[in-house]
């Protein structure tokens, strides 16, 4: 770990400790917000999209729109996402949606919304990873996109992608290799037969419950074979496109690259990870080491690269919306842990997908985070923490508006309000809302969409 990294973290942590105890400028924010809040409807309760005109102005000429969600499994952020997508498809030339789900399996979702295959809802659920198929709002999005695309010419159809790793902490990394081999079985049976034998051992060991325990030589062999698979696809590009299509070939090549992304992630896991049956059984914070900490960033690098792949494919057709957790889309270094209680949860920092995308796309990339005040009707095991009285969410709630969006670029360029939004403060995260993290809103987002009360998706 570099000295510069340690100095940066020490300075950031000391700033965060001071900011965490700093009383928010509630009165100043309330006065400022009167002229800058744009009220919204977070769900499907209205067919009038006039409230979304403010979102149009925030997006401006950006080609990639990142929309965050404050936790996974809340209805209101997902319902608002769906309404925003419908609006942007019809009014803003949105032509692609990229979701926080496995890239390799998302080819089934891509084909479904284009009417290329018929899938039951049960099969569609299985095509999502991380349990996101259980959220009815995700199925509703798929059905709407399929219906929309059925009546539109190809240039106006909306494409759907996943942009996440196929395995990461879960034992599914081998799925990308299998997908490539299935493609080759259809397009070059002779080549496929030989490769199927060569990659049998890779498929059996390329998973999070086995790979970390392998000897370094075995890991290196898997890495080499995955790189060989990428090289083979590139070498055989012309013949493989000739026996399939450019679209199918592009997917197969990206699935091979997706396998390489998972390989980079798995190489950072310690050997003891393979002994845990579930991610939460491992005392992650206690046993982390310098190498293991990098797995956060390996996932973020992969997600950003995959969003950029979507951008390169779709930019001539229109805008792209990238939807993931707030942590992934933010353009500031993420701070995990509690600077107030480092002995319980030591502070770490990671570059996130949004950081990498901003460095590539610049002003073509706009980021909207979603924050909330309170959760209602969640089971006790899933109930989000209440907002910290000195944190971001309590300050946003003080505007006394149930649902709204603010453009942070309209904040004063100096003074107490600017300084407060530019410093890290507590909010909820990471996936469930039962943990805390530190966030500097002005560095993380271009705009914040606020929802007073969120409720669980109907399946939770």
Q: Tokens for 330?
A: 């933010």
pLDDT of residue 41: 78
pLDDT of residue 45: 52
Burial 172-200 (b: 16+ CB within 10 A, else e): bbbbbbbbbbebbeebbeebbeebeeebe
Which residues neighbour 355 within 8 Å (Cβ) at sequence distance 6 or greater? Answer: 300, 304, 330, 331, 332, 333
**Residue 107: HSE in the Cβ half-sphere, 13 Å Cα cutoff:** 19
pTM: 0.91
CA gap 249, 243 in Å, rounded? 9
pLDDT of residue 14: 40
Q: What structural domains does the chain harbor?
A: 13-93+318-460 (3.40.1660.10), 166-295 (1.20.1440)
Q: Tokens for 204?
A: 């059996």
CA gap 139, 452 in Å, rounded? 25
- Nearest partner of 372 among 360, 385, 362, judged by Cα: 385
pLDDT of residue 18: 44
Which pLDDT tens digits describe the chain residue by residue (460 residues)? 333 333 333 334 444 444 545 789 999 999 999 999 999 975 555 557 889 999 999 999 999 999 999 999 999 999 999 999 999 999 999 999 999 999 999 999 999 999 999 999 999 999 998 899 999 999 999 999 999 999 999 999 999 999 999 998 889 999 999 999 999 999 999 999 889 999 999 999 999 889 989 999 999 999 999 999 999 999 999 999 999 999 999 999 999 999 999 999 999 887 776 565 544 444 444 444 445 556 678 999 999 999 999 999 999 999 999 999 999 999 998 876 555 555 445 566 788 999 999 999 999 999 999 999 999 999 988 899 899 999 999 999 999 999 999 999 999 999 999 999 999 999 987 777 777 888 999 999 999 999 999 999 997 6
- Nearest partner of 164 among 82, 97, 252, 104, judged by Cα: 104
Peptide bond into 430 cis (omega under 30): yes
pLDDT of residue 410: 97
- Nearest partner of 244 among 187, 289, 307, judged by Cα: 187
CA gap 56, 52 in Å, rounded? 7
C-alpha of 110 from chain center: 17
Are the C-beta atoms of 355 and 331 separated by less than 8 Å?
yes
Q: Tokens for 159?
A: 């494409």
CA gap 217, 118 in Å, rounded? 43
């Amino acid at each position: 770990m570099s000295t510069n990294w340690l100095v940066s973290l020490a300075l950031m942590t000391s700033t965060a400790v001071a900011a965490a105890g700093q009383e928010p400028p509630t009165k100043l924010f309330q006065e400022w917000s009167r002229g800058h809040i744009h009220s919204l409807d977070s769900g499907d309760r209205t067919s009038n999209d006039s409230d979304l005109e403010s979102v149009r102005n925030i997006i401006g000429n950006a080609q990639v729109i990142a929309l965050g969600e404050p936790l996974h499994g809340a209805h209101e952020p997902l319902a608002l996402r769906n309404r925003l997508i419908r609006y942007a498809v019809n009014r803003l030339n949105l032509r692609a949606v990229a979701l926080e789900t496995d890239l390799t399996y998302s080819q089934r979702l891509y084909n479904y919304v284009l009417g290329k295959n018929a899938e039951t809802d049960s099969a569609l659920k299985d095509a999502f990873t991380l349990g996101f198929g259980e959220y009815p709002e995700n199925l509703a999005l798929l059905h709407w996109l399929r219906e929309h695309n059925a009546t539109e010419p190809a240039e106006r159809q909306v494409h759907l992608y996943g942009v996440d790793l196929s395995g990461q902490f879960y034992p599914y990394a081998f799925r990308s290799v299998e997908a490539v081999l299935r493609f080759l079985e259809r397009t070059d049976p002779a080549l496929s037969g030989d490769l199927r034998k060569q990659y049998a051992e890779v498929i059996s060991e390329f998973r999070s419950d086995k790979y970390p325990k392998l000897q370094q030589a075995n890991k290196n062999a898997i890495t080499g074979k995955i790189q060989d698979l990428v090289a083979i696809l590139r070498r055989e590009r012309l013949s493989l496109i000739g026996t399939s299509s450019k679209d199918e070939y592009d997917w197969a090549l990206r699935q091979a690259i997706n396998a390489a992304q998972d390989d980079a992630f798995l190489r950072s896991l310690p050997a003891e990870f393979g002994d845990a049956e579930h991610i939460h059984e491992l005392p992650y914070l206690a046993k982390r080491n310098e190498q293991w900490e990098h797995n956060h960033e390996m996932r973020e690098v992969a997600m950003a690269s995959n969003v950029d792949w979507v951008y390169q494919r779709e930019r001539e057709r229109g805008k792209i919306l990238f939807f993931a957790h707030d942590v992934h889309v933010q353009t500031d270094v993420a701070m995990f842990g509690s600077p107030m209680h480092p002995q319980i949860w030591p502070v770490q920092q990671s570059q996130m997908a949004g950081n990498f995308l901003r460095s590539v796309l610049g002003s073509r990339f706009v980021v909207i985070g979603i924050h909330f005040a309170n959760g209602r009707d969640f089971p006790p095991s899933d109930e989000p923490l209440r907002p910290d009285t000195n944190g971001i969410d309590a300050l946003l709630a003080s505007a006394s508006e149930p649902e709204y969006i603010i453009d942070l670029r309209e904040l004063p360029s100096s003074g107490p309000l600017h300084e407060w939004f530019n410093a890290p403060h507590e909010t909820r995260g990471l996936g469930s809302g039962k943990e805390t993290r530190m966030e500097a809103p002005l560095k993380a987002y271009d705009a914040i969409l606020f929802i007073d009360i969120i409720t669980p998706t109907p399946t939770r």
